[in-house]
A and B are shown apart, each in its own frame.
Chain A
């Protein structure tokens, strides 16, 4: 009974996310054209430097990952803040299923829609630049991708409660976090180039380990991995559990604060 209710709520909240892609085609510009332009710049830099063709593959994967980070920041982390101003949050707080399935639905819908967008970026990139992308192990690729996705959206769920507490500052925080992560997570180059300790610190953001792990699976002989692949998979699993646990705690705390203070959920 409880599981069915959770499933219904997840499905219900995921729906606007998935259907939105078809009804708001502006994503083709923001989530497809813009990342590809970014990719284009790096591809030309690497080609001008005479870098091996695998670097083109790095850049395309980085471009696809941009869609995930943007989605987590703008559509997960800042989402409760927008929901509050639309008047949805107080309705969500008083439905019997609770906030957790609704947040999971947001994450699931966002992950599905963004995976489609990322796949299109990869497809267009490979076609345009003839990048040598080849997966050495599909099960490993799927495992890293899935763990990365859970950990990343778990982080987004943690942020969604934090950003609600921070109120209007959420907007600035999203802007502040967006670009630096492109650098420290190695979106367009192997993160190892930043040094082991910077790479390790950046691994708190799941995209770092996920991207590095996927590159190890796709360019096994070429890619200088940050850590051995098994460690990266273990790290991602740990982050997934940690962020989901933190998200649940934060959500409970946020709801309690909202009921006590009366300011978090109301449109004041």
Chain B
């Protein structure tokens, strides 16, 4: 049986018009030799900053975009030459999606989409009611779509994506812009759906570390169009754990450069919060923390908390990419 998703040396470039932003007019490489294999039943995460190529990869897999070169297949069907067979088996839900028509009710909207998949009305309405109960939108089924909150709308979109009972579901940043509660609900439905259907596959793109860590069986880290690592979250974290990780809260610091110059300090990330500075330190070994404590004391800063922590997926990302996800996001936006 072929894997659920398979890509081989996938390349996608975009031609850009010569402009002030792109004076050279040279093609932009969005995907640069991506090779992946996702097995059936996996919840596979694609983690990367804005502009890393996550959405481009999804668009190719859902047959909306042709690869420039290389090969991609979903359930063994080539996305270039067997688009129809691929479309029979997939669905996609994007974060911040405003699809459909505001004047329809939730139930009518879902019914409309069910018709595009050839589901008879009676069966479609029964499925819709079941799905709306699962995502907690059943009481809102007769409410117009334009009256829904962002979180409700995304729950409806998720129901739309699952309505055709697809074999492979592509979720493109499904919780982006949602409040904590709505995002947690969406993650719970995704997990529950896959648990009930162990032969189905989900490919999820996100740039939330915690989401990837919480949901995914395996994660591929994508940066500048290349897959830089692909493994289980636990193994990725282990790979990053060359050293010791500490969290230190101090009185507000004006810059942490003096800490970066200390022996044994590999990386310092500082965040200002409630008049305090939170330092996330990667050290060569545990003993180096003594130098950090001494340096802070010399600068007249009290230590409010000192905690040794386990490396996270974010640490793995930093080790592999050389910068934090937010930094990569900012860099991509500036470009």
Give the interface of A toward B (CB within 8 A): 4-5, 8-9, 11-13, 15-16, 19-20, 23-24, 86-88, 90-97, 101-102, 258-262, 265-266
Contacts and interface: CB of A to CB of B under 8 A. Distances in A.
Contacts of A91: 92, 99, 113
A101 B117 CA distance: 11
Interface in B97-147: 97-101, 103-104, 108, 111-120
Given A8-B118, A9-B116, A13-B112, 14 more contacts: A9-B118, A15-B108, A15-B111, A20-B103, A87-B99, A90-B64, A93-B64, A94-B63, A94-B64, A96-B84, A102-B116, A259-B64, A262-B65, A265-B64
Interface of B: 12, 14-15, 56, 59, 62-66, 84, 87-88, 90, 92, 94, 97-101, 103-104, 108, 111-120
A96 B88 contact: yes
Contact of A4 (B14, B64, B118): B118
Contacts of A16: 101, 103-104, 108, 112
Nearest to B87: A96
A11 B64 contact: no
A23 to B, nearest CB: 5
Contacts of B12: 262
A96 B118 contact: yes
B118 A87 contact: no
Contacts of B87: 94-96
A15 B121 CA distance: 13
A86 B112 contact: no
Contacts of B90: 94
Nearest to A22: B103
24 contacts: A4-B118, A12-B112, A12-B114, A12-B115, A13-B112, A15-B111, A19-B103, A24-B103, A87-B94, A88-B99, A90-B59, A91-B92, A91-B99, A94-B63, A94-B64, A94-B90, A95-B116, A96-B118, A97-B118, A259-B64, A260-B66, A262-B56, A262-B64, A265-B64
Given A12-B116, A94-B64, A87 B98 contact: yes
Contact of A23 (B103, B116, B118): B103
Nearest to A97: B116
Contacts of A5: 118
Contacts of B98: 86-87
Contacts of B114: 12
B147 to A, nearest CB: 12
Given A19-B108, A23-B103, A96-B87, A259 B65 contact: yes
